[in-house]
Amino acid sequence: MKTNTNSKGFSLVEMMIAVAIFSIVAGAAFELFTRHQALFTKEQDIVALSLDMRNALGQVQMDMSNAGTGVFPGANVPNWPVGVTVINSNPGGGCYDAATQTYQASCFDTMNIVAANQAVPPLHPETVAGGCISTTTGSTYSLPPAGLTAAQTAALFAANDIILMVKSDGSQMTVVTLTAAPTVAAGKVMFQHTTTAIDGSGSDPLNITNNSNPRLGSGYCSTDWLIKLDAITYAVDVAADPTNPRLTRTRGGQTDLVTDQVVGFKIGVSLWNQVTLTSSEAYDFDAANYGFDYPLIRSVRLQLIGRTRPNNEPSYRYRNPFDQGPYQIQPVSLVVNPRNLSLKD
Helix (H), strand (E), coil (C) string for 213-232: CCCECCEECCCCEEEEECCE
- Percentage of residues of the chain with pLDDT beyond 90: 54
Total structural domains in the chain? 2
- The domain in which residue 185 lies consists of 125-228
Look at residues 345, 340, 344, 316 and name the one whose alpha carbon lies nearest to residue 63: 340
Q: Mean of the pLDDT values across residues 115-132?
A: 93
Final residue of a domain: which of 228, 252, 286? 228
Residues of 314-345 as b/e, b for ≥16 C-beta within 10 angstroms?
Answer: eeeeeebeebebbbbbbebebebebebbeeee
Q: Are residues 110 and 192 in the same domain?
A: no
Q: Mean of the pLDDT values across residues 244-270?
A: 94
The reported pLDDT for the residue numbered 90 is 80
Position 5 in a domain = no
Q: Are residues 195 and 291 in the same domain?
A: no
Confidence band (pLDDT; 50, 70, 90) for 278? very low
DSSP 8-state assignment for residue 173: E
Is the pTM of the predicted complex or chain greater than 0.75?
Answer: yes
Position 187 in a domain = yes
Final residue of a domain: which of 209, 228, 247? 228
Is 73:116 a contact under the CB 8 Å cutoff? yes
Q: DSSP 3-state assignment of 300?
A: strand
The reported pLDDT for the residue numbered 159 is 96
Q: What angle do CA 67, 68, 73 make, to 5 degrees?
A: 150
Q: Are residues 160 and 223 in the same domain?
A: yes
> pLDDT tens digits for 129-155?
989 999 999 999 999 999 999 999 999
Q: How far apart are CA 32 and CA 90, in angstroms?
A: 47
Q: DSSP 3-state assignment of 156?
A: coil
Q: Are residues 167 and 256 in the same domain?
A: no
Q: DSSP 3-state assignment of 26?
A: helix
Most confident of 46-50, 229-233, 239-243: 229-233
Q: Are residues 91 and 154 in the same domain?
A: no
Q: Are residues 99 and 192 in the same domain?
A: no
Position 34 in a domain = no
Is 319:325 a contact under the CB 8 Å cutoff? yes
Q: Are residues 62 and 96 in the same domain?
A: yes
Q: Are residues 222 and 236 in the same domain?
A: no
Most confident of 179-188, 265-274, 284-293, 313-322: 179-188
Final residue of a domain: which of 228, 252, 273? 228
Q: Are residues 207 and 247 in the same domain?
A: no
Q: Are residues 192 and 255 in the same domain?
A: no
Locate all alpha helices (DSSP H) within the chain, ordered by sequence.
Answer: 12-64, 150-154
DSSP string, 29-56: HHHHHHHHHHHHHHHHHHHHHHHHHHHH
CA dihedral 236, 238, 240, 244 (to 10 degrees): 90
Q: Are residues 174 and 316 in the same domain?
A: no
Is 223:174 a contact under the CB 8 Å cutoff? no
Q: Are residues 235 and 338 in the same domain?
A: yes
Position 29 in a domain = no
Position 192 in a domain = yes
Position 21 in a domain = no
